[in-house]
Amino acid sequence: MPDDVIVGYLRRLDGTDDDAVRQLVLTMRNFADAKRLVLTMVFVEQEPGVTSTLGTMTRYCLRHGIRQVVVPSEPHLNRLPGLAALSRELLAQSIGGQVWIATEGEDT
């Protein structure tokens, strides 16, 4: 897989409706475009509190040699900031690459 390929992951947080999902996907797409990366797929959890799609995405990345993942913000990795940082590190190790936070560095 080319080095410029990236996939997205979106954890469905409480209150995330379909409109919010579309906006978050757009945020990840804009991030990828700004980094000159090609967002090829976005994995979206279907229910709040469920993270089974994260494992599916990780296996997909390994199978296809994808080394970059983007999430909209840290809570999409874990709701607790310390655990989100750890989750980010573990995911990066699992895929042998990098996990980007699309909104990192933005004023909120």
Question: Within a 10 A sphere around the Cβ of 55, how many other Cβ atoms?
Answer: 11
Q: How far apart are alpha carbons 57 and 50 in whole angstroms?
A: 14
pLDDT in tens, 68-100: 999 999 999 998 989 999 999 999 999 999 999
**Span 2-16, pLDDT tens digits:** 679 999 999 988 888
SS3 of the chain: helix, strand, coil, percent, to 5: 45, 20, 35
Domains observed in the chain: 5-101 (3.40.50.1390)
Backbone torsions φ then ψ of 99, nearest 5 degrees: -115, 120
How far apart (Å, rounded) are the C-alpha atoms in residues 99 and 70? Answer: 6
Residue for token digits 């409480």? Answer: 14
Rounded to two decimals, the pTM is 0.91
Summarize pLDDT for 17-44 with one digit per residue, the tens: 999 999 999 999 999 999 999 999 999 9
